[in-house]
């Protein structure tokens, strides 16, 4: 006899509730970190007190993300594919420099900026915002890696953003390239992230166009419409029969008796 353990089910339900309640908070904190990360990258001043405290906040936020990921892994009943299903959270914990990409959670299901998720409702708008976020974060990461390197080409915010757009769209003019190992590693991540997000945008747009085309052509030939047409035809037929029967006078009793066939004696 096979024994089915029902104990993991309540734990998974509790974990789902925890995730639903904390997703918005964590995505909001990630957006706050995005702002602080942008300030540190655009106006770097490691000797300033404000820069130090922003760095402390970044480290504490990374620690919070790591604890959240570890806690959800321990409580999960499906540990085998946990990290693959939570790839964004995992990569931002394993590589702390990518913490700013955690702000993408704001556009996914349950995120603070999206109630319906990346692939529903306003999917094209949220995916476009995600593309801009990848461009912005990628530009800042490469700028931080390249700014002080000897012979570096990506040394200003404008050049970094231009390079990020070139890279994410796979144009690759080659007018500006990272020269450091860290900068090139970040460039590879921007390439993969860009291809993924742009693929989501293209797939969503194609699905939307197909759905609109199907909704405009399908109703005329759908089974439900055929049934409705047949019902309308039956109603019209019944109405015609009732109209014809209304002109027929019901026979009287006398006429009914006299209208019968003649007996042999009468003939």
Every domain of the chain and the residues it spans: 8-106, 116-237
Query: Of the ranges 31-40, 82-91, 177-186, 247-256, which one carries the lowest mean pLDDT score?
Result: 247-256
Residue 261: phi and psi, rounded to 5, are -65, 145
Question: Which 8-state DSSP code applies to residue 234?
Answer: H
Query: Which of residues 235 and 42 earns the better pLDDT score?
Result: 42
Tokens standing for 155? 């040394």
17-31, 105-119, 134-148, 187-201: least confidently modelled range: 105-119
Tell whether the model's pLDDT for residue 161 goes beyond 90: yes
In this structure, what token pair is assigned to residue 267? Answer: 């003939």
User: Any idea which residue has 């590589």 for tokens?
Assistant: 95
Q: Specify the pLDDT at position 167.
A: 87
E-strand spans in 105-181?
none
Q: Does domain 116-237 have CATH number 3.40.50.300?
A: no
Spatial separation of the C-alpha atoms in residues 221 and 237, rounded to whole Å: 22
The percent of residues in the chain predicted with pLDDT above 90, rounded, is: 21
Q: Which is nearest to 58 in space by CA: 97, 87, 27, 11?
A: 97
Terminal CA-CA length for the chain: 92
Q: For residue range 193-247, list pLDDT tens digits in order.
A: 777 777 766 776 677 677 666 555 545 556 667 777 777 887 887 777 777 766 6
What is the pLDDT, as a whole number, of residue 1?
46
pLDDT at 165 over 60: yes
Express each pLDDT in 98-131 by its tens digit.
777 777 776 655 555 554 444 444 566 667 777 8
Q: Which residue has the tokens 């908070």?
A: 25
200 three-class SS: helix
Q: How many CB atoms are closer than 10 A to CB 139?
A: 25
8 Å CB contact between 30 and 106: yes
CA distance 226 to 148: 71
pLDDT at 248: 57
């Amino acid at each position: 006899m096979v024994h089915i353990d029902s104990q993991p089910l309540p734990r998974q339900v509790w974990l789902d509730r925890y995730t639903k309640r904390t997703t918005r908070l964590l995505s909001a904190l990630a957006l706050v970190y995005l702002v602080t990360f942008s300030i540190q990258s655009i106006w770097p001043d490691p000797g300033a007190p404000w820069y130090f405290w922003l760095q402390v906040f970044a480290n504490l936020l990374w620690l919070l993300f790591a604890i959240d990921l570890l806690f959800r892994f321990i409580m999960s009943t499906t540990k085998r594919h946990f990290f693959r299903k939570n790839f964004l959270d995992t990569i931002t914990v394993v590589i702390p420099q990518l913490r700013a990409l955690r702000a993408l959670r704001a556009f996914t299901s349950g995120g603070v900026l999206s109630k319906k998720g990346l692939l529903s409702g306003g999917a094209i708008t949220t995916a476009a915002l995600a593309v801009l976020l990848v461009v912005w974060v990628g530009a800042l990461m490469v700028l931080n890696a390249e700014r002080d390197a000897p012979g570096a080409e990506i040394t200003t915010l404008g050049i970094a953003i231009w390079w990020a757009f070139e890279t994410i769209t796979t144009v690759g003019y080659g007018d500006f390239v990272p020269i450091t190992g860290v900068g090139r590693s970040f460039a590879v991540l921007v390439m993969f992230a860009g291809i993924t997000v742009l693929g989501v945008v293209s797939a969503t747009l194609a699905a939307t166009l197909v759905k609109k085309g199907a909704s405009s052509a399908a109703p005329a030939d759908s089974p439900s419409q055929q049934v409705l047409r047949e019902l309308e035809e039956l109603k019209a037929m019944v109405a015609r029969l009732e109209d014809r029967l209304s002109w027929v006078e019901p026979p009287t009793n006398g006429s009914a008796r006299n209208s019968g066939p003649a007996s042999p004696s009468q003939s």
